[in-house]
Amino acid sequence: MNGSDAGGGNAREGGARNGGARGESGGSAGTGGAGHAGSPAVGDSVIRPAVDDASDVPTAADVSLNGADRAARPDRVSSVLVAVGPGPHSGATVDVAREIAAATDAWLELFHVVPSDAALADAGPDGEASGTAVADGDSDASDYAVAGERLLDAAEDRLGGFERADRWLVEDRTAAGAVVEQSAYYDLVVVGAPTTGTVGRFVFGSTTDTVVGDAEVPVVVVEADGSTALDAA
């Protein structure tokens, strides 16, 4: 269940979400789907085996599980929040999340954060509020939203035939704050490894460390084997 499904509604500053209704473990029409070989017995943790299996994804150089003891129900994963960004680890992050969801019959939420008006004001005319790629000279919220939707389109394309997935574009002051706040409504969060430089700083960069430290649930960090940046052209 995600933040928009929780009692009291969505507490984010703004955003748009679309996709079908979520179910805990309905049949999959996606790639994979039946769970990994040698499934744990009832009551055993499914998170670690699923992450270990996803580590074999060819595009990933390293996949680490952090905060495994935060899982309220280690024996099931029904929803996964995937932080989608423009950095070099973004494609591998989606690939790993898809494999985890296939192994656990979970739903994926492709989640991208764009700067709110307040964040843009804080950044000032010469500041960089988001890693979302926009054309030179285009820096208002609508430009970031359009670019963010293209990035989510690319992430959906990357999923191939996997159908248990929704997408959510959110406005917030910081990506870290948005991901951490929404993490309480999911069983697992998947993010890309820290990225240095301007591109990716808003979604990854120090955000990864903040999410690992502050999320309410376990966090999987994915480092790509070479650049796997999503093509949001």
Q: Is the pLDDT of residue 119 over 70?
A: no
| Of 110, 99, 109, nearest in space to 186 by CA | 109
Q: Is the pLDDT of residue 126 over 70?
A: no
User: Which domains does the chain possess?
Assistant: 3-18+40-224 (3.40.50.620)
Q: Is the pLDDT of residue 93 over 80?
A: yes
- Mean pLDDT to the nearest integer, 138-156: 83
Query: What is the rounded CA–CA span in Å between residue 94 and residue 101?
Result: 10
- Mean pLDDT to the nearest integer, 135-142: 52
The two beta strands, 14-18 and 165-172, are antiparallel
How far is C-alpha 222 from the chain's CA centre? 11
Phi, psi of 164 (to 5 degrees): -85, 65
Predicted pLDDT at 140: 56
